[in-house]
Amino acid sequence: MPTNCDTPTTMRSKRVKLGQSDIEVSRVGAGTWQWGGKFYWGYGRSYTDVDLANAFSACISGGINWFDTAEIYGRGRSEQILGKLIQNSQVDKKSSSDRTIVATKFFPYPWRWKHHSFRNALKNSLKRLGVQSVDLYQIHFPLRPRNFKYWVDALADATEDGLVKAVGVSNFTSEQTKQTHEILSGRGIQLASNQIGYSLLNRSPESNGILDACKELGVSVISYGPLPEGLLTGKYGPHNPPPLPRRLRWAGRRLKVLPPLISLMKDIGSAHQSTPSQVALNWLINENSTNTRREISPSGSG
């Protein structure tokens, strides 16, 4: 574990390839689930666009070069905010190595039934982001009624048409990941990533075969929820739960088991001049995965 938080210089020097693509990303990315989320996250009440702009600037200054969003985050508002911030920033006026990388996702709603539904969703995301093509496009969940393989073919079509630079999935099992890899390989396309929930509070990927499958196939693991909505920052506990409605999700036993873990993380952090958040993120980094920090927030504390 590093003795302290990575500096911008070391963050830039520690970039990794996204799967077998040519896209290089920082080991930690910024997730934007909160951006535009009014009901669950309190957008417009607890924080504003000014706070998000400050968070964006802090990420760039800290060496983060990629942001993960989705069409369902804030009903598209997250993509709009991110696209505007990138367009208004000075980052993309530098060398190509400093270009901001964008990842977004397609959500397979049950009423989406045909390939044109996929293409329309992608084009709407591109419009909100203000780009001609997206660096990484992911299938958000392998949901029915359509078999996920149908959407994988649609994703391959979009890649061949130049709308998508790299292909990813999210919340796919090990078997689904293998099947997706096989389908794409048959069309000469590599599966770049699988975005999954993985943290000190959720270590199921270590036993359900996902990590092994991704390693075998050369697919990058993007770990979302590394701080589970701020739980591993040390901010929350049984007597200080998250605000509603998030409190309903984490109430009960999940909060009761936190204090011993947070205490241990603080002990480890104090020996390395690091916070519990840095301990949690460094644990994932040392587990050799690419992290997307969904818990990035305007306050910086989850």
- In this structure, what token pair is assigned to residue 62? 């800290």
Q: Looking at the DSSP assignment, which residues form a beta bridge with residue 31?
A: 68
* Number of Cβ atoms within 10 Å of the Cβ of 9: 9
**CA 220 to CA 289: how far, in whole Å?**
7
Phi-psi region of 271 (alpha: psi -120 to 50; beta: other; left: phi over 0): alpha
DSSP string, 43-112: BTTTB-HHHHHHHHHHHHHTT--EEE--TTGGGGHHHHHHHHHHHHSSGGGS-GGGPPEEEEEE---TT-
User: What residues are annotated to the active site?
Assistant: 73
Closest CA to 160 of 130, 117, 119: 119
Main-chain phi, psi angles of 155, to 5 degrees: -65, -40
**CA 90 to CA 73: how far, in whole Å?**
25
